[in-house]
Chains A and B, each alone.
Chain A
Amino acid sequence: METPIGIICNSEIKTLEMKHLLIIISTLVLLSACNETFKVKKTYSTVPDLFPDYIGVTIPCNIAPLNFKVNEDYSKIDVVLETKNESIHVQHNDFANFPIDPWRELLNANKGDSIQVKVSIKKENDWYAYQPFSIYVSDDAIDDYLAYRLIAPGYEVYSKMGIYQRSLQDFKQDAIYENTLVQGSCVNCHSFRMGSAKDMSMHIRGKQGGTVLLTDNKMEVLKTKTVETLSKFVYPYWHPSGNYMAYTLNDTHQVFHSSSNKRVEVFDNASDVIVYDIAKNEIIKCDALMSDSVFETFPSFSPDGKTLYFCSAKTEIMPVEYTKVKYNLCSISFDPQNGTFGTKVDTLFKASNIGKSVTFPRPSPDGKYVMFTLVDYGNFSIWHKEADLFLLDTETNKVTAIDAANSDDTESYHSWSSDSRWFVFSSRRLNGLYTRPYIAHLNADGIVGKPFLLPQKDINHYDDLLFSYNIPEFITEKVNIDIPKLEAQLKGEGKQVRVRN
């Protein structure tokens, strides 16, 4: 049976403002002017196999267009996005490329509803249609920007890298810092206070380096190695007040696997957690976080700032017994007024009891959950294929796997949006190596929607890109670093941090 597909203009558009209506109509007219009208030769009984897989995903009402292609050879693709009141129709040779303004209008008009997507492809001279599928548009908007590091997933040597910010409402990406500025430098561990772009920490390693701390847009470069501490500052987390930062101190090494299913093993020979008092320029030490018999790592503060979560594992002989290292999820109280710790360490989730290990505990800004990654052993989850995301309910202490987000490959770093409704996580599900950012929705009932790959203007972007997306973090506005000033500060001595007596 042949199904005619043409240009769609539905009638009930009253709810839209006239301005929006005009934009949509004019765009549709322009777009449809070049579109080929056709009759479908055959309608498949299945939905299309898309890249990226956007079938049934839940998306924010302010996300950039979800351009996609069908994983088949074709000479043209025809896509109709259809809702109760309006539609967008595109036809392209390579991939479905949606115009941004009509897309925004469509999403805005369909918050809390779904979009029907009808896909047809032209092979030789015939058109074939697939079963339509839905994309769910959430009421919840997403933070405006996503920050991440782009780095080749290498071993010891590194080339070009940088920390970038990408507008989630469109496709624009800007560099926050690129290591082209200081030849041979490495940049890592960017962190923001509750998604604020005004408070940021990142490390620039190399001859001209230091920890760059942006507090309320005021920049300082810190020299963080002291005689009394194990290393320079490593993994960061901001205190919600902006007065403190938790960092780890690590003696990290890596070894290389020989068999085909594994590549690299990164491990700590020693690690501690400290808190840095920004105003006083002091490291606050705590015995419970610096034990010789325990590896402590990955600190994070609760949204009220009164609890410090961290991962803790009994030390083993490294690297010989690397598979025996199992990190548990722990917490200790913290007094932000005096910058002091409690005396008791609570174990919130004893992963070692089930032969597993916890990494990257990240409390949701509303305090309801702590999301973490669970692996078989160790703490460098990005190299663990079994790494999956889990949620701990802070009221019940119940731990559940986030099945909707997990895959057969690595899911590792994750961060929350400022309203706790979205989380972004890095996954290697596409090819087992190049990490890509996926975004998922978590509703008020704790139900997670199907995640979607960060949309790109050019669908070949991920194929061509030889970088991984590392440490994806939501930010609510654009980071504004004075690069010439940073360049000058990096050439200077930097501010040496002290240890509180």
Chain B
Amino acid sequence: MKNISTNIIASIIFGIIVYLFFTLMYPYHLHYQEQYQLFLITGDYFLSYLQMPGGFSDYMGGFITQFYFYPSVGSIFIAILLVSLQQLTWKISQRFNKTPLYYPLTFIPSLFYWALLCNENYLPGGLVALVIVMMFIYFTTQIKDGILKSVLSLLFVPVLYWLAGGAVVFYVLFSALMILFLSTRRTTQNIFIVVMQVALVISLPYLAKVILIQYPIIKMWIGVNYYSFPNTFPFYVGGIILLSISLPIIMNTLPEIKSKPQLILAIQYLIIISAGIFIINKSSDFDKEEVMAYDFYSRMRQWDKVIAMADQKAPSSPLSVSCLNLALAKKGLLAEQMFNYYQNGTGGLLPNFKKDFTIPMVTGEIYYQLGFINTAQRYTFEAMEALPLYQKSARSIKRLAETNLINGNQALASKYLKLLQKTQFYKKWATAMYKAMEEPQILMRHSEYGQLMTHKIQNDFFFSEGEKDMMLGQLFTANKKNRLVYEYLMAYCLLNKDLNHFMQYLSLGQSIGYKQMPQSFQEAFIYGWKMTPQKDQKPIPSFISNKKIQSANTFLSMMNLPNAKEALKKDYGNTYWYYLQFRN
């Protein structure tokens, strides 16, 4: 009794740790997954999933993923699934051996699946499929031998195939293992049932292919979308399922030690905990978590949080740097502070378009804030279309609704809003926007939409990916008070080390009305001025401080030192001069 209680407590603690991990340490991975699906609460949506083998598991996975909108809620589902898997492994093993001595071993499959879920491409539908298979195995083991068990064992195969896809193979494999390892199960009737099950398992994908003719046979074999990319065969998942079904049988073969059971339990827990920490640590990718956090806060317009994150640890990947630069620009600090942080060229300001679902989504956010509404619309559309499982994205649909509202296409905006009204977590926003659409003055008063509607591009031009400075210039020319666009234009020149254009565009900033010329502009100007042949030099303007000139002189005098890069880093690492000279 005492052992049982301890074990239950261990399972509860395991669930709590899983919950805390995903809520506190890994929440942005959940946000990341959530944005890439559009889970509709409609009968048609549900039925569309049921048409595929394993579709039910995918649907349930999607159902859970929608709660990732709030990681503190979504994590509950992950914890429940992982604890369920552990409990089912335990319950099945109890059918053969009732000793609780090896209880800790039943955590192993859950630990491995937890490790898989640390990869943003592994989807919860796979875990649902595994739990369903284990439930069916458990249920089968609870039926006493006889005709009913034989009939149900056969009946479960097609049912399970439709619910959990190709994972049904492991249900049949479990039956086979039972016959192999348990002599009591080795009856003619049982062997016949297993043979029938095998025949069914082999034929079901081919039968499914007759109905679902437009899919390759491999899809019929796998069924569930375990991984975001359908061309990746889920070997790891297969390994974990195999482990889950073998473990009860393996545990049955382990010796029953009667002396010092507490010590054996403690040693097992110690090993499992140590291995668990190692595995989860190895599987977690906190660099990605950081990029996802930058993207999340940018999408939520929480600019202060973005900057605070950078102040704690400077970002280095182009995507996170581009989010930081956007946050700085939105707070009016880009020109002043951008070189206080690591800069990785124009790719960290406006990343280049790529045919995938991550980069266009993040970059689209920047174009949207700048007022390139069509480009933002295109990027978000492309990101959604690039989703490899033919999913739609709630984030994209929301942005499409916004961009169409700003562009004045209400009919199209309402199409997207109607879709969002069929979701759980975007419904409220969509309904509010629907109402706002009926009264344009509400939209005009909106701090973001109103401004973007006012600054809408009137004179058409083709967007050119290779001439971003020209695009920014065109946008700025249309509204010379748009500080955000001006600072992006100048930052682009600075990061591109294009001082000619920087000097050319500097005077355009008069309309912005800076009280004091931003640091990076002063630094770039002095450099440009010093590089100008003396005969062409005009007197240095008053907006450049003497202190800055002296600082530039020192920098330039030390620049040719053999270890200049290191020597200058401490005092000049946050200047444009340092970026110009020493950053690639």
Which residues of A line the B interface, CB within 8 A? 152, 154-160, 162, 175, 177-178, 180-183, 255-263, 265, 319, 430-434, 458, 463-464, 466, 483-484, 487
Contacts and interface: CB of A to CB of B under 8 A. Distances in A.
Contacts of B216: 180-183, 487
B214 A263 contact: no
B374 interface: yes
B457 A156 contact: no
Given A154-B385, A159-B390, A463-B415, A259 B460 contact: yes
A interface, over-half SS = loop
Contacts, number: 111
Contact of B381 (A154, A162, A178, A434): A154
A155 B463 CA distance: 13
Given A466-B419, A483-B214, 5 more contacts: A155-B382, A258-B375, A260-B406, A262-B460, A464-B44
B231 A183 contact: yes
Contacts of B372: 258
Contacts of B44: 458, 464
B207 interface: no
Contacts of B582: none
Contacts of A263: 374, 377-378
Nearest to B373: A260
B355 A157 contact: yes
Contact of B385 (A152, A181, A434, A463): A152
A257 B462 contact: yes
B462 A259 contact: no
Interface in B389-436: 390, 392, 406-409, 411-412, 414-415, 418-419
A430 B411 contact: yes
A427 B355 CA distance: 29
Nearest to A151: B385
A356 to B, nearest CB: 20
Contacts of A466: 392, 419
A33 to B, nearest CB: 25
A258 B415 contact: no
B408 A258 contact: no
Contacts of B462: 255-258, 265, 319
A177, A265, A433: most-surrounded residue (chain B CB, <10 A): A433
Nearest to A409: B411
Contacts of A265: 462
A257 B215 CA distance: 37
Contacts of A181: 214-216
5 contacts: A178-B214, A256-B374, A257-B460, A319-B462, A483-B214
Nearest to A481: B213
A41 to B, nearest CB: 26
A458 B45 CA distance: 14
Contact of B382 (A154, A182, A258, A484): A154
A180 B385 contact: no
9 closest A-B pairs by beta carbon, nearest first, are: A259-B460, A260-B407, A178-B214, A431-B411, A160-B390, A157-B385, A431-B412, A255-B462, A159-B385
B214, B372, B457: most-surrounded residue (chain A CB, <10 A): B214
B235 interface: no
Given A260-B408, A431-B415, A483-B213, A158 B378 contact: no
Given A159-B390, A464-B44, A258 B214 contact: no
A157, A158, A178, A484: most-surrounded residue (chain B CB, <10 A): A157
B386 interface: yes
B458 interface: yes
Contacts of A260: 373-374, 406-409, 456-457
Contact of A159 (B378, B386, B412): B386
A147 to B, nearest CB: 15
Contact of B378 (A256, A261, A262, A319): A256
Contacts of A177: 214
B461 interface: yes
A158 B385 contact: yes
Contacts of B261: none
Nearest to B461: A258
Given A178-B214, A180-B214, A463-B418, A256 B375 contact: yes
A464 B458 CA distance: 31
Contacts of A464: 42, 44, 418-419
B459 interface: yes
A157 B230 contact: no
Contacts of B373: 260
